[in-house]
Amino acid sequence: MELDRVAPYLGAVACLVFAAVLSAPYLIVDGLAAPIGEYYAAGPLGIAGGVFLSVLGVVIFLSGERGRADSDLVAGIMVVVGVALFAMTTLWAVWIPDSVLFSFPQEYSWIEYHPWVSVALSFIIATIGAVYAWAVL
């Protein structure tokens, strides 16, 4: 398998999945604007920047594969972006107050696991970035 050709596409897909999963509570939970706002703003940084970084990650991953940028440079940038995304998501997940996380109605009880699924997906993005860097270097 040619990792240097496959990794950018896997990374782009992982970034899109992460953005979709991270946005799910905002799109699915109805009528609870205040708790959703507190949920996304938790922690020292909040997580709104995570969606931005993941969408940016799609562009960065594919720019190396499409020949728009040097693949060595793209791989290095994605290692940094992946680690930053993982750190941001982990800080957010750890700092969500229990009073916010468990304040949603029973029908939205899946939100209790949402931060940790997001952390796992951000770890996958960071790992793919590292694999891509290893493959091109």
Backbone angles phi, psi at 115, to 5 degrees: -60, -35
Confidence at 43, pLDDT banded by 50, 70, 90: confident
pLDDT, tens only, 70-84: 889 999 999 999 999
Q: Give pLDDT, residue 1.
A: 67
- Are 125 and 82 contacting, i.e. CB atoms less than 8 angstroms apart? yes
- Can you give the pLDDT at residue 27? 92
pLDDT of residue 3: 85
**pLDDT score at 32:** 87
Instruction: Give the residue from 9, 11, 26, 7 showing the smallest Cα distance to 121.
Output: 11
Q: Residue 46 and residue 52: Cα distance in Å, rounded? A: 12
- Give the pLDDT band (50/70/90) at residue 109: very high
Query: How far is the C-alpha of 127 from the C-alpha of 107, rounded, in Å?
Result: 33
What pLDDT is attached to residue 89? Answer: 97
pLDDT surpasses 80 at 67:
no
On the question of pLDDT at 59 being above 80, the answer is yes
